[in-house]
């Protein structure tokens, strides 16, 4: 009798947990889709203004959140992973330095069009081969896994990058915000696996939202480029490359994807659960390991937070120049996403 009662209690508890999981996943799906639809409508209405507002409010905080996430995934001792992390961090440093150099030369008009296009093609190829090297090193960690095929794909992408360097770079601009969705999927697998199925259904709805934006804005007049800031925003979205497409559509699409990117890092990943509050370091191996550096980690988080405040101040006093500097330096965090994402698979 007692066994029957115990089984009944366990069954009831399992049913309640299952109902709770379905309810929480339904709430998550409703909130996610509502956020996407509301963002799409608002951005389609005022794409230029929303571009300025979203970068001002969320660019810095989302970088801090990414930094905190990466700290939590960095092992205290590299051991056999020394080569992987050496190539990772070395590649981030070198590619970022090269990008900033190219940006400075481009701003000074030192490079002519042919030299600029050539430099972009070389940088894109270096990026591709660096990522291929990380994939190959990841595959070597276990027997039976051979990721050398990544170089075949990489060389094909290099050919594409040399065929249309500027168009390839623009593709990376639009691809980068979507990387956050992969990070969130990996986080759900660790902490909220019951949400993954409904999350994948939500992802299937994103192309529909984009098609709605494109349908509404395809024949609209281009955005006015009355000042330097407006011109830079439209050029960043690809107006100078895709001249046959309305700049209003391009800016709205880019701002929408960036808004999803910011929302994933600032809302969804913390909601999925990091094991601790973002400002806590008790789940950070670099801070908790007996041979770690807890004070260094806390200091790094405080310095990063101070950088966010400085960024806000810069936006307030000179938005245009601060925006240019931010997007040049932010290449470091874009590149840093590659090794940490590879390690999650």
pLDDT band at 108 (very low <50, low <70, confident <90, very high): low
Q: What is the mean pLDDT of residues 158-184?
A: 95
Indicate whether 143 pLDDT > 50: yes
Q: Which residues make Cβ contacts (< 8 Å) with residue 225, sequence separation at least 6?
A: 231, 234, 247
Q: What is the mean pLDDT of residues 138-155?
A: 89
Distances (CA, A) of 2 to 7, 12, 175, 202: 9, 15, 58, 44
The pLDDT, as a whole number, for residue 141 is 86
Indicate whether 283 pLDDT > 90: no
Answer whether 119's CB lies under 8 Å from 95's CB: no
Q: Which residue has the higher pLDDT, 259 or 111?
A: 259
User: Among positive and negative, which fits the CA dihedral 50, 51, 56, 59?
Assistant: positive
Alpha helix segments (H runs only) across the chain: 2-45, 47-73, 82-107, 113-139, 149-163, 165-191, 196-217, 228-236, 247-263, 269-272, 285-288, 294-317, 319-329, 331-343
Q: What is the mean pLDDT of residues 70-91?
A: 90
Q: Which residues of 45-67 are buried (b: 16+ CB within 10 A; e: fewer)?
A: eebbebbbebbbebbbbbbbbbb
Q: Of 5, 42, 26, which Cα lies nearest the Cα of 260?
A: 42
Indicate whether 314 pLDDT > 90: yes
pLDDT band at 13 (very low <50, low <70, confident <90, very high): very low
User: Among positive and negative, which fits the CA dihedral 140, 141, 145, 147?
Assistant: negative
The pLDDT, as a whole number, for residue 200 is 93
Q: What is the mean pLDDT of residues 331-340?
A: 94
Indicate whether 249 pLDDT > 60: yes
Q: Of 259, 284, 261, which Cα lies nearest the Cα of 69?
A: 284
Q: Which of 24-28, 110-114, 149-153, 261-265 has the lowest mean pLDDT?
A: 110-114
The pLDDT, as a whole number, for residue 275 is 63
- Collapsed DSSP state (helix, strand, coil) of residue 110: coil
The predicted model scores a pTM of 0.88
Q: Which residues make Cβ contacts (< 8 Å) with residue 100, sequence separation at least 6?
A: 328, 329, 331
Indicate whether 4 pLDDT > 50: no
For 48-62, the pLDDT digits (tens) are: 999 999 999 999 999
Q: What is the mean pLDDT of residues 331-343?
A: 94
Q: What is the mean pLDDT of residues 74-100?
A: 92
């Amino acid at each position: 009798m007692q066994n029957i009662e115990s089984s009944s209690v366990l069954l009831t508890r399992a049913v309640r947990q299952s109902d709770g999981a379905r309810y929480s996943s339904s709430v998550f799906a409703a909130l996610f889709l509502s956020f996407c639809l509301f963002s799409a409508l608002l951005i389609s209405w005022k794409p230029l203004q929303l571009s300025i507002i979203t970068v001002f409010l969320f660019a810095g905080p989302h970088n801090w959140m990414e930094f905190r996430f990466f700290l939590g995934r960095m092992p205290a001792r590299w051991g056999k992973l020394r080569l992987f992390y050496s190539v990772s961090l070395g590649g981030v440093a070198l590619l970022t330095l090269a990008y900033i150099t190219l940006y400075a030369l481009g701003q000074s008009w030192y490079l002519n069009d042919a030299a600029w296009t050539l430099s972009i093609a070389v940088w894109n190829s270096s990026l591709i081969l660096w990522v291929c090297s990380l994939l190959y090193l990841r595959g070597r960690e276990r027997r039976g896994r051979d990721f050398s095929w990544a170089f075949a794909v990489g060389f094909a992408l290099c050919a594409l990058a040399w065929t249309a360097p500027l168009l390839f770079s623009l593709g990376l601009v639009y691809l980068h915000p979507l990387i956050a969705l992969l990070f969130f999927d990996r986080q759900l697998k660790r902490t909220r696996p019951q949400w993954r199925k409904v999350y994948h259904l939500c992802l299937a709805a994103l192309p529909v939202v984009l098609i709605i934006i494109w349908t509404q804005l395809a024949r609209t007049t281009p955005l006015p480029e009355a000042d330097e800031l407006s011109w830079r925003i439209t050029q960043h979205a690809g107006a100078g490359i895709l001249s046959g497409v309305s700049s209003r559509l391009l800016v709205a699409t880019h701002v929408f994807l960036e808004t999803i990117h910011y929302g994933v890092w600032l809302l969804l990943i913390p909601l999925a659960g990091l094991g601790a509050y973002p400002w806590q370091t008790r789940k950070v191996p670099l801070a908790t390991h007996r041979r770690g550096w807890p004070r260094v980690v806390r200091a790094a988080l405080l310095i990063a937070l101070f950088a966010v405040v400085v960024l806000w101040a810069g936006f307030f006093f000179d938005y245009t120049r601060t925006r240019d500097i931010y997007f040049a330096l932010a290449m470091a965090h874009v590149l840093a996403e590659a090794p940490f994402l590879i390690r999650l698979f």
